[in-house]
Chain A
Amino acid sequence: MKQIVMKKSAALLALAACAVLTGCASQSKSLYQWESYQPQVYQYLKGESPEQQIAAMEKDLQIISAKGNQAPPGFHAHLGMLYSVTGKTDEVATQFEDEKKLFPESAGYMDFLLGKLKKGEKL
Protein backbone atom coordinates (compact mmCIF):
# COMPACT_ATOMS: atom_id res chain seq x y z
CA MET A 1 0.00 0.00 0.00
CA LYS A 2 2.70 2.39 1.06
CA GLN A 3 4.61 1.49 -2.10
CA ILE A 4 1.68 2.48 -4.32
CA VAL A 5 1.11 5.79 -2.57
CA MET A 6 4.77 6.56 -2.92
CA LYS A 7 4.82 5.73 -6.62
CA LYS A 8 1.73 7.84 -7.27
CA SER A 9 3.15 10.75 -5.34
CA ALA A 10 6.43 10.50 -7.14
CA ALA A 11 4.67 10.52 -10.52
CA LEU A 12 2.62 13.54 -9.54
CA LEU A 13 5.71 15.33 -8.36
CA ALA A 14 7.47 14.62 -11.62
CA LEU A 15 4.52 16.00 -13.55
CA ALA A 16 4.44 19.09 -11.37
CA ALA A 17 8.15 19.61 -11.90
CA CYS A 18 7.58 19.53 -15.65
CA ALA A 19 4.80 22.07 -15.31
CA VAL A 20 7.03 24.35 -13.27
CA LEU A 21 9.89 24.05 -15.73
CA THR A 22 7.85 24.72 -18.85
CA GLY A 23 5.03 26.82 -17.43
CA CYS A 24 6.65 30.23 -17.61
CA ALA A 25 8.68 29.84 -20.75
CA SER A 26 6.53 30.99 -23.64
CA GLN A 27 8.53 29.11 -26.23
CA SER A 28 7.62 30.08 -29.74
CA LYS A 29 9.26 29.33 -33.05
CA SER A 30 12.17 31.51 -34.17
CA LEU A 31 11.26 33.97 -36.93
CA TYR A 32 14.74 33.79 -38.45
CA GLN A 33 17.72 31.49 -38.74
CA TRP A 34 20.48 33.56 -37.18
CA GLU A 35 23.64 31.55 -37.77
CA SER A 36 26.62 33.86 -37.10
CA TYR A 37 25.08 37.25 -37.91
CA GLN A 38 25.53 38.80 -34.47
CA PRO A 39 29.06 37.37 -33.91
CA GLN A 40 30.08 38.75 -37.34
CA VAL A 41 28.65 42.16 -36.44
CA TYR A 42 30.69 42.01 -33.23
CA GLN A 43 33.85 41.15 -35.18
CA TYR A 44 33.23 44.08 -37.52
CA LEU A 45 32.61 46.54 -34.68
CA LYS A 46 35.85 45.39 -33.07
CA GLY A 47 37.69 46.12 -36.33
CA GLU A 48 38.52 42.54 -37.38
CA SER A 49 39.25 41.59 -40.98
CA PRO A 50 36.18 41.67 -43.26
CA GLU A 51 37.39 38.76 -45.45
CA GLN A 52 36.82 36.21 -42.70
CA GLN A 53 33.41 37.71 -41.92
CA ILE A 54 32.41 37.51 -45.59
CA ALA A 55 33.45 33.85 -45.79
CA ALA A 56 31.48 33.02 -42.64
CA MET A 57 28.37 34.88 -43.81
CA GLU A 58 28.42 33.34 -47.29
CA LYS A 59 28.53 29.93 -45.65
CA ASP A 60 25.67 30.97 -43.34
CA LEU A 61 23.54 31.95 -46.35
CA GLN A 62 24.03 28.51 -47.91
CA ILE A 63 22.92 26.84 -44.67
CA ILE A 64 19.91 29.15 -44.32
CA SER A 65 18.69 28.71 -47.90
CA ALA A 66 19.30 24.95 -47.80
CA LYS A 67 16.84 24.77 -44.93
CA GLY A 68 14.42 27.14 -46.66
CA ASN A 69 14.54 29.58 -43.75
CA GLN A 70 14.89 33.34 -43.65
CA ALA A 71 18.01 35.34 -42.81
CA PRO A 72 17.52 37.86 -39.99
CA PRO A 73 16.93 41.60 -40.55
CA GLY A 74 20.16 43.35 -41.52
CA PHE A 75 22.03 40.21 -42.62
CA HIS A 76 22.07 41.05 -46.34
CA ALA A 77 22.71 44.74 -45.74
CA HIS A 78 25.65 43.91 -43.49
CA LEU A 79 27.11 41.48 -46.04
CA GLY A 80 26.66 44.16 -48.72
CA MET A 81 28.66 46.61 -46.63
CA LEU A 82 31.43 44.02 -46.15
CA TYR A 83 31.58 43.54 -49.95
CA SER A 84 31.93 47.30 -50.40
CA VAL A 85 34.87 47.38 -47.98
CA THR A 86 36.67 44.72 -50.00
CA GLY A 87 35.86 46.34 -53.36
CA LYS A 88 33.34 43.77 -54.66
CA THR A 89 31.12 46.59 -55.89
CA ASP A 90 28.84 44.47 -58.10
CA GLU A 91 27.77 42.30 -55.20
CA VAL A 92 27.00 45.23 -52.90
CA ALA A 93 23.86 46.29 -54.77
CA THR A 94 22.61 42.70 -54.99
CA GLN A 95 22.75 42.33 -51.22
CA PHE A 96 21.02 45.68 -50.61
CA GLU A 97 18.27 44.69 -53.06
CA ASP A 98 17.88 41.35 -51.26
CA GLU A 99 17.47 43.16 -47.94
CA LYS A 100 14.79 45.35 -49.52
CA LYS A 101 12.96 42.38 -50.99
CA LEU A 102 12.90 40.47 -47.68
CA PHE A 103 12.18 43.54 -45.56
CA PRO A 104 10.32 46.35 -47.33
CA GLU A 105 10.72 48.36 -44.08
CA SER A 106 14.38 48.77 -45.05
CA ALA A 107 13.63 50.45 -48.41
CA GLY A 108 14.33 54.02 -47.27
CA TYR A 109 17.77 53.22 -45.88
CA MET A 110 18.69 50.79 -48.66
CA ASP A 111 17.81 53.41 -51.30
CA PHE A 112 19.94 55.92 -49.41
CA LEU A 113 22.89 53.48 -49.51
CA LEU A 114 22.27 52.50 -53.16
CA GLY A 115 22.29 56.21 -54.03
CA LYS A 116 25.70 56.62 -52.41
CA LEU A 117 26.93 53.51 -54.21
CA LYS A 118 25.83 54.90 -57.58
CA LYS A 119 27.67 58.16 -56.93
CA GLY A 120 30.77 56.20 -55.98
CA GLU A 121 30.71 57.55 -52.42
CA LYS A 122 31.84 55.60 -49.36
CA LEU A 123 28.88 53.94 -47.64
Chain B
Amino acid sequence: MMPRILKLALCLVPAMLAVGCASNKQAAYDYTAFKAAKPRSIVVLPPLNDSPEVNAGNSVYAQVTYPLAEAGYYVLPVAVVSETFKQNGLTDAHDIQGVDPKKLSEIFGADAALYMSIARYGSTYTVIDSVSVVSVKAKLVDLKTGTLLWEGAASASSNEGNNNGGGGLIGALVAAAVKQIINSSTDASHPIAGVANSRLLSAGSPNGLLYGPRSERYLAQ
Protein backbone atom coordinates (compact mmCIF):
# COMPACT_ATOMS: atom_id res chain seq x y z
CA MET B 1 0.00 0.00 0.00
CA MET B 2 2.69 2.45 1.00
CA PRO B 3 4.70 2.20 -2.20
CA ARG B 4 1.62 3.11 -4.19
CA ILE B 5 1.14 6.27 -2.20
CA LEU B 6 4.78 7.12 -2.60
CA LYS B 7 4.61 6.56 -6.35
CA LEU B 8 1.59 8.77 -6.56
CA ALA B 9 3.38 11.44 -4.60
CA LEU B 10 6.39 11.11 -6.88
CA CYS B 11 4.18 11.73 -9.90
CA LEU B 12 3.06 14.97 -8.32
CA VAL B 13 6.59 16.24 -7.75
CA PRO B 14 7.25 17.41 -11.34
CA ALA B 15 3.98 19.29 -11.24
CA MET B 16 5.00 21.00 -8.00
CA LEU B 17 8.36 21.93 -9.44
CA ALA B 18 6.78 23.33 -12.56
CA VAL B 19 4.20 25.36 -10.69
CA GLY B 20 6.31 26.40 -7.71
CA CYS B 21 8.49 29.01 -9.34
CA ALA B 22 6.19 30.12 -12.11
CA SER B 23 5.54 33.84 -11.92
CA ASN B 24 2.04 35.14 -12.29
CA LYS B 25 0.98 35.68 -15.84
CA GLN B 26 1.01 39.46 -15.61
CA ALA B 27 2.07 41.72 -18.42
CA ALA B 28 5.83 42.21 -18.17
CA TYR B 29 6.79 45.55 -16.65
CA ASP B 30 8.26 48.09 -19.06
CA TYR B 31 11.68 48.89 -17.61
CA THR B 32 12.81 51.20 -20.45
CA ALA B 33 12.79 54.39 -18.37
CA PHE B 34 14.27 52.61 -15.32
CA LYS B 35 17.17 51.15 -17.32
CA ALA B 36 17.87 54.48 -19.01
CA ALA B 37 17.90 56.43 -15.71
CA LYS B 38 20.29 54.03 -13.86
CA PRO B 39 19.52 55.38 -10.37
CA ARG B 40 22.22 54.73 -7.74
CA SER B 41 20.70 56.46 -4.74
CA ILE B 42 17.15 56.69 -3.43
CA VAL B 43 15.60 59.13 -0.97
CA VAL B 44 12.48 57.56 0.55
CA LEU B 45 9.86 60.12 1.54
CA PRO B 46 7.64 59.60 4.62
CA PRO B 47 4.71 57.38 3.49
CA LEU B 48 1.13 58.59 3.16
CA ASN B 49 -0.98 56.77 5.71
CA ASP B 50 -4.50 55.86 4.60
CA SER B 51 -4.98 53.42 7.49
CA PRO B 52 -6.51 54.38 10.86
CA GLU B 53 -3.34 53.33 12.76
CA VAL B 54 -1.40 56.51 13.61
CA ASN B 55 1.92 54.69 14.00
CA ALA B 56 1.73 53.00 10.57
CA GLY B 57 3.86 55.66 8.86
CA ASN B 58 6.75 55.30 11.33
CA SER B 59 6.56 51.51 11.24
CA VAL B 60 6.70 51.26 7.45
CA TYR B 61 9.22 54.11 7.08
CA ALA B 62 11.63 52.51 9.57
CA GLN B 63 11.77 49.31 7.50
CA VAL B 64 12.32 50.50 3.92
CA THR B 65 16.11 50.67 4.06
CA TYR B 66 16.82 46.95 4.31
CA PRO B 67 15.21 45.70 1.07
CA LEU B 68 16.36 48.72 -0.98
CA ALA B 69 19.95 48.65 0.27
CA GLU B 70 20.25 44.89 -0.18
CA ALA B 71 18.88 45.40 -3.71
CA GLY B 72 22.02 47.46 -4.36
CA TYR B 73 20.97 51.09 -3.84
CA TYR B 74 22.30 53.77 -1.54
CA VAL B 75 19.35 54.68 0.67
CA LEU B 76 19.47 58.07 2.36
CA PRO B 77 19.13 57.87 6.17
CA VAL B 78 15.35 58.02 6.61
CA ALA B 79 15.21 59.54 10.10
CA VAL B 80 17.76 62.22 9.15
CA VAL B 81 15.79 62.99 5.99
CA SER B 82 12.58 63.37 7.97
CA GLU B 83 14.44 65.68 10.39
CA THR B 84 15.58 67.87 7.47
CA PHE B 85 11.96 68.21 6.35
CA LYS B 86 10.98 69.13 9.91
CA GLN B 87 13.61 71.88 10.03
CA ASN B 88 12.05 73.24 6.85
CA GLY B 89 8.60 73.31 8.42
CA LEU B 90 7.34 70.12 6.75
CA THR B 91 5.98 67.37 9.02
CA ASP B 92 2.96 66.17 7.04
CA ALA B 93 3.60 63.34 4.55
CA HIS B 94 1.19 64.89 2.01
CA ASP B 95 3.10 68.19 2.11
CA ILE B 96 6.45 66.41 1.86
CA GLN B 97 5.38 64.29 -1.11
CA GLY B 98 4.30 67.52 -2.80
CA VAL B 99 7.80 69.03 -2.74
CA ASP B 100 9.25 69.75 -6.20
CA PRO B 101 11.55 66.89 -7.36
CA LYS B 102 14.22 69.44 -8.37
CA LYS B 103 14.28 70.77 -4.80
CA LEU B 104 14.62 67.21 -3.44
CA SER B 105 17.51 66.55 -5.80
CA GLU B 106 19.20 69.79 -4.71
CA ILE B 107 19.07 69.05 -0.97
CA PHE B 108 19.50 65.28 -0.88
CA GLY B 109 21.61 64.74 -3.98
CA ALA B 110 19.64 61.54 -4.66
CA ASP B 111 19.03 60.15 -8.15
CA ALA B 112 15.50 59.01 -7.39
CA ALA B 113 12.75 59.40 -4.80
CA LEU B 114 10.41 56.70 -3.52
CA TYR B 115 6.81 57.81 -2.86
CA MET B 116 4.97 55.33 -0.65
CA SER B 117 1.46 54.97 0.66
CA ILE B 118 -0.07 52.60 3.19
CA ALA B 119 -3.52 51.28 2.26
CA ARG B 120 -3.93 48.88 5.19
CA TYR B 121 -2.13 48.54 8.49
CA GLY B 122 -3.37 46.85 11.63
CA SER B 123 -5.05 43.95 13.31
CA THR B 124 -8.60 42.69 13.22
CA TYR B 125 -9.62 40.58 16.18
CA THR B 126 -12.09 37.72 15.98
CA VAL B 127 -13.09 35.21 18.65
CA ILE B 128 -10.63 32.56 17.57
CA ASP B 129 -7.88 34.58 16.00
CA SER B 130 -6.32 37.96 15.38
CA VAL B 131 -5.01 38.83 11.96
CA SER B 132 -2.58 41.63 11.12
CA VAL B 133 -2.54 42.89 7.55
CA VAL B 134 -0.29 45.48 5.93
CA SER B 135 -0.65 46.71 2.32
CA VAL B 136 1.81 49.16 0.80
CA LYS B 137 2.33 50.85 -2.56
CA ALA B 138 5.34 52.66 -3.98
CA LYS B 139 6.42 54.78 -6.95
CA LEU B 140 10.04 55.39 -7.90
CA VAL B 141 10.56 58.75 -9.60
CA ASP B 142 13.69 60.12 -11.30
CA LEU B 143 14.53 63.39 -9.57
CA LYS B 144 16.30 64.97 -12.53
CA THR B 145 13.47 64.49 -15.00
CA GLY B 146 10.43 63.71 -12.83
CA THR B 147 9.89 60.52 -14.87
CA LEU B 148 8.14 57.55 -13.27
CA LEU B 149 10.67 54.68 -13.24
CA TRP B 150 8.69 51.96 -11.48
CA GLU B 151 5.61 51.34 -9.38
CA GLY B 152 4.32 48.39 -7.41
CA ALA B 153 2.17 47.17 -4.53
CA ALA B 154 2.41 44.37 -1.96
CA SER B 155 0.65 42.95 1.08
CA ALA B 156 1.48 40.68 3.96
CA SER B 157 -0.70 39.02 6.55
CA SER B 158 -0.04 37.23 9.83
CA ASN B 159 -2.20 34.21 8.92
CA GLU B 160 -0.23 33.22 5.83
CA GLY B 161 1.12 30.21 7.76
CA ASN B 162 -2.05 28.30 6.83
CA ASN B 163 -1.28 28.45 3.13
CA ASN B 164 0.74 25.90 1.21
CA GLY B 165 3.97 26.66 -0.59
CA GLY B 166 6.53 29.39 0.00
CA GLY B 167 4.26 31.65 2.02
CA GLY B 168 4.06 29.04 4.75
CA LEU B 169 7.67 29.50 5.71
CA ILE B 170 7.47 33.26 5.79
CA GLY B 171 4.20 33.00 7.66
CA ALA B 172 5.80 30.80 10.29
CA LEU B 173 8.67 33.24 10.73
CA VAL B 174 6.27 36.13 11.05
CA ALA B 175 4.13 34.21 13.52
CA ALA B 176 7.21 33.64 15.65
CA ALA B 177 8.17 37.31 15.47
CA VAL B 178 4.66 38.38 16.38
CA LYS B 179 4.59 36.07 19.39
CA GLN B 180 7.76 37.63 20.73
CA ILE B 181 6.18 41.05 20.97
CA ILE B 182 2.64 39.94 21.63
CA ASN B 183 2.63 41.81 24.92
CA SER B 184 2.99 45.12 23.15
CA SER B 185 0.01 44.25 20.99
CA THR B 186 -0.07 47.66 19.32
CA ASP B 187 3.13 46.64 17.52
CA ALA B 188 1.83 43.27 16.28
CA SER B 189 1.66 44.67 12.74
CA HIS B 190 5.24 45.97 12.75
CA PRO B 191 6.92 42.71 11.60
CA ILE B 192 4.12 42.22 9.06
CA ALA B 193 5.00 45.65 7.67
CA GLY B 194 8.59 44.46 7.36
CA VAL B 195 7.47 41.50 5.24
CA ALA B 196 5.21 43.69 3.08
CA ASN B 197 8.11 46.12 2.54
CA SER B 198 10.46 43.28 1.59
CA ARG B 199 7.98 41.93 -0.92
CA LEU B 200 7.46 45.37 -2.40
CA LEU B 201 11.04 46.64 -2.46
CA SER B 202 13.33 43.63 -2.92
CA ALA B 203 14.87 43.38 -6.37
CA GLY B 204 14.49 40.43 -8.70
CA SER B 205 10.84 39.51 -8.19
CA PRO B 206 8.44 39.49 -11.19
CA ASN B 207 7.68 43.10 -12.13
CA GLY B 208 9.68 44.18 -9.07
CA LEU B 209 12.48 46.69 -8.68
CA LEU B 210 15.66 46.17 -10.69
CA TYR B 211 18.95 45.56 -8.90
CA GLY B 212 21.04 48.64 -8.12
CA PRO B 213 24.74 49.24 -8.84
CA ARG B 214 25.94 47.94 -5.46
CA SER B 215 24.48 44.47 -6.15
CA GLU B 216 26.58 41.80 -7.83
CA ARG B 217 23.51 41.04 -9.97
CA TYR B 218 23.31 44.59 -11.36
CA LEU B 219 25.19 43.88 -14.58
CA ALA B 220 23.60 40.46 -15.15
CA GLN B 221 19.99 41.66 -15.28
- A residues apposed to B, CB below 8 Å: 2, 5-6, 9-10, 12-13, 16, 19-21, 23-26, 28, 30-32, 34, 37-39, 41-42, 44-46, 72-75, 77-78, 80-81, 99, 103, 105-109, 112-113, 121-123
Contacts and interface: CB of A to CB of B under 8 A. Distances in A.
B55 A105 contact: no
B6 A37 contact: no
Contact of B110 (A34, A75, A109): A109
Interface stretch (B66-74, B113-121, B124-132, B149-157): B66-74
A74 B21 contact: no
Contact of A9 (B7, B21, B110, B190): B7
B16 A20 contact: yes
Given A19-B17, A123-B84, 19 more contacts: A5-B3, A6-B6, A10-B6, A20-B13, A20-B16, A25-B166, A30-B70, A31-B70, A31-B214, A41-B79, A72-B69, A74-B78, A77-B76, A77-B77, A78-B77, A81-B79, A105-B40, A123-B80, A123-B87
A80 B77 CA distance: 11
Contacts of A72: 65-66, 69
**Interchain residue pairs A-B with the least CB separation, the first 7:** A108-B109, A74-B77, A42-B62, A105-B74, A9-B6, A77-B77, A45-B58
A31 B6 contact: no
Contacts of B83: 81, 123
Interface in B78-103: 78-80, 82-84, 87
Contact of A46 (B9, B58, B74, B84): B58
B56 to A, nearest CB: 11
Contact of B77 (A26, A28, A81): A81
A38 B41 CA distance: 18
B27 interface: no
A78 B69 CA distance: 15
Contacts of B204: 26
Among A12, A32, A109, chain B packs the most CB atoms within 10 A around the CB of A109
Contacts of A73: 65, 69, 73-77
B34 interface: no
A109 B108 contact: yes
B109 A109 contact: yes
19 contacts: A20-B20, A26-B204, A31-B69, A31-B70, A31-B214, A38-B62, A39-B62, A41-B77, A42-B58, A42-B62, A42-B63, A72-B65, A74-B76, A74-B78, A77-B76, A78-B79, A99-B77, A105-B41, A123-B80
A9 B17 CA distance: 17
B79 A34 contact: no
Nearest to B69: A73
